[in-house]
Structure 1
Amino acid sequence: MDTKKSNLFKKYIIKKGKWGILILVVILAALIGVRSVIYFDNKTTKIGFEDIGEFATQDAYCTELSIIDDSRDFFGVSIPFTQSKYIYSYDVIIKAGFNFGEIEWNKNDNIIEVKLPEVKVLSSEIDLDSFKVYHEKESVFNKITMAENNESMRGLKEKAEEDAIANGLLKNARTNAETVLTGFFAKEYDLDKYEIVFKDK
């Protein structure tokens, strides 16, 4: 009788032990799973825009008029037949944006804070195919030099940049950058749960 009781007790202990081991394995597996998820979340530090480098987020097209007016003078008096004058125009393409590698961001609770560097003009290019001449008169006694022509072209580009900025180039570049970045974050985070806040660096 005692032997039967002893055997039953042993079976009970073994059965309980098996269940205990099984429960322990399940708990450990769950903990490992949770740890791996948390670890993965902490390692999500790159969204994809960091390696883009300089990226134009706004273009402006300006048609600029340039006048080269030159004549030789003698003691402040213009010498006849020495006036050379050109009036012409070019289209200038100005691009503004950011170096995306300089953008900083971090996530706190349900807020993603993004710090943007100063937006800047990335390039100004003259469209040579857009050249138009409105007036052309060159004196054989006073040819327009290459130096004068280059100076005129440089001034034309500078004026185009000023006009583009005055008409909202940099502001629009900033707005478009925020839209582009929001798209990148939307691929990684549910934006119904996170708010993106943009700030200046």
Structure 2
Amino acid sequence: MGKIIKGKINLFLIMLNVLLIGILIITFTSNTKPEYTASSVFERIVDIQEISLVQYNYTGVVGFDDRKTVGDINVPFTRKHFLVKYDGYIKGGIDFDEIDIEVFENRVAVRLPSPRIIENVIDEESLVVYDESNNIFNPIKIEDYNDALIMEKAKMEQEAREKGILDRAKSQAASLINTMVIDMGFEEIDISFK
């Protein structure tokens, strides 16, 4: 009978040790913060890759007027012109592949590339021609429309820059990165731009 009690006590002590070891493992693994390196933070952020953060919508009217000349003299009956209304958009954003990251215990420093125009599109389905000449001596060509719209895109891009599209993209990028890094448990975050 003494052997049975001694065996039960040994079994009880073994089970108590296993239970204590299990509690210690759970306690230490749940309270320890995951260790991040610059490359692990980079991998989490770079999944975004190139992201457009701000969109600027625009509508415009482009006029085109041209005629053939000889020297400084306009040749009669060679005038060609058109007037086209269009809609488009410009997207500003950041290429997240070019991020530099440094990790120091509870602090992370993230250096982002400067924002840039990612996309500038005139919606071809929105084009409406209000006026165009039909001149047999100097007909309108597709290149005339293309050249006029290319110049309009450049003009609209400049307007979007002046209205702060890149500043808004910079602000959105900093906010997005800040949120992601806080979720990783960092206490101090330094975000700057190249």
Equivalent position SS for 2:124? strand
TM-score calculated relative to the size of structure 2: 0.75
> Is the 1:59–1:93 contact (alpha carbons within 8 Å) kept by the matching residues of 2?
yes
Deviation sequence 1:35-56 (CA, Å, 0-9, x none) = x947x41458236221221111
C-alpha separation in 2, matches of 1:132 and 1:150: 14
**What is the aligned residue count?**
170
1:50 pairs, out of 40, 43, 46, with 46
2:66 pairs, out of 39, 48, 70, with 70
Q: CA deviation at 1:188?
A: 1.4
1:195 pairs, out of 172, 188, 191, with 188
> Is the 1:64–1:159 contact (alpha carbons within 8 Å) kept by the matching residues of 2?
no
C-alpha separation in 1, matches of 2:189 and 2:36: 18
C-alpha separation in 2, matches of 1:99 and 1:146: 34
C-alpha separation in 1, matches of 2:47 and 2:36: 20
Q: CA deviation at 1:80?
A: 2.2
> Is the 2:36–2:103 contact (alpha carbons within 8 Å) kept by the matching residues of 1?
no
1:83 pairs, out of 59, 66, 79, with 79
In structure 1, the partner of 2:147 is 151
In structure 2, the partner of 1:162 is 158
Q: CA deviation at 1:162?
A: 0.8
- Calculate the aligned-residue CA RMSD, in Å: 2.8
**74-83 vs 158-167, which moves further:** 74-83
Unmatched runs of 5 consecutive residues or more in structure 2:
1-16
Deviation sequence 1:89-121 (CA, Å, 0-9, x none) = 222211111111222223335433211111111
Regions of 4+ moved over 6 Å: none
Structure 1 vs Structure 2: percent identity of aligned residues? 25
Q: CA deviation at 1:74?
A: 2.7
C-alpha separation in 2, matches of 1:56 and 1:163: 18
In structure 1, the partner of 2:175 is 179
Asked if 1:123 is matched to 2:116, the reply is no
Equivalent position SS for 1:41? coil
**55-64 vs 45-54, which moves further:** 45-54
Deviation sequence 1:101-153 (CA, Å, 0-9, x none) = 22222333543321111111111111123223343223222101222222112
Equivalent position SS for 1:125? strand
Deviation sequence 1:29-79 (CA, Å, 0-9, x none) = 78xx58x947x4145823622122111111111223322111122332212
Q: CA deviation at 1:196?
A: 2.2
Task: Supply the AA of the counterpart residue of 1:111.
Answer: R
